[in-house]
């Protein structure tokens, strides 16, 4: 079930604004936790409060991996000084496809992850974890 419009955090717009003044991922996390909304509540406090709603929590947890991927793509693209159109050209896709990935609201296929890795000069790695969360056994493959 989607998050009600009134409770959504506009991730794409917020990340673009934050990236304009942030140079490292550590600074990004710190600044986001201190960012204050127009109604006087920090983004972190608003999310914490919203997580008490079971519907919001379920959607937040469902989207978490896509948002993490979005942050990685945005930061790597910024580090390389690429526009969405330039990254899209490297991948043989469109800027709107990159925008969808960076929105953090959509699943991304293994094929697209491989293209992203290639376009960034790296490798996409996927796999599974088994056993306890503190010391899991991992089985990974490079796409």
Over the stretch 70-82, which tens digit does the pLDDT of each residue have?
A: 999 999 999 999 9
Q: Is residue 130 part of a domain?
A: no
- Gap between the Cα atoms of 47 and 57, Å rounded: 9
pLDDT in tens, 79-136: 999 999 999 999 999 999 999 999 999 999 999 999 999 999 999 999 999 999 999 9
- Gap between the Cα atoms of 16 and 89, Å rounded: 21
Q: Is residue 66 part of a domain?
A: yes
Q: Buried (b) or exposed (e) across 3-20, using 16+ Cβ within 10 A? A: beeebebebeeebeebee
User: Encoding tokens for residue 3?
Assistant: 């998050």
Range of the domain at 39: 5-108
How many domains does the structure of the chain reveal?
1
- Gap between the Cα atoms of 71 and 59, Å rounded: 18
- H or E element in which residue 126 lies: strand 125-130
Q: Which residue has the tokens 């490292």?
A: 24
Q: Is residue 60 part of a domain?
A: yes
Q: Is residue 119 part of a domain?
A: no
Rounded to two decimals, the pTM is 0.67
Q: Is residue 140 part of a domain?
A: no
């Amino acid at each position: 079930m989607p998050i009600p419009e009134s409770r959504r955090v506009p991730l794409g717009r917020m990340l673009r604004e934050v990236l304009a003044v942030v140079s490292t991922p550590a600074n990004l996390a710190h600044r986001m936790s201190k960012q204050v909304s127009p109604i006087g509540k920090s983004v972190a406090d608003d999310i914490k409060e919203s997580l008490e709603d079971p519907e919001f929590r379920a959607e937040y947890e469902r989207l978490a991996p896509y948002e993490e991927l979005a942050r990685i793509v945005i930061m790597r693209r910024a580090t390389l000084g690429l526009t969405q159109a330039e990254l899209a050209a490297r991948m043989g896709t469109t800027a709107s496809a990159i925008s969808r990935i960076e929105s953090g609201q959509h699943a991304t296929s293994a094929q697209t992850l491989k293209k992203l890795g290639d376009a960034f000069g790296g490798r996409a790695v996927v796999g599974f974890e088994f056993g306890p969360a503190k010391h899991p056994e991992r089985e990974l493959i490079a796409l």
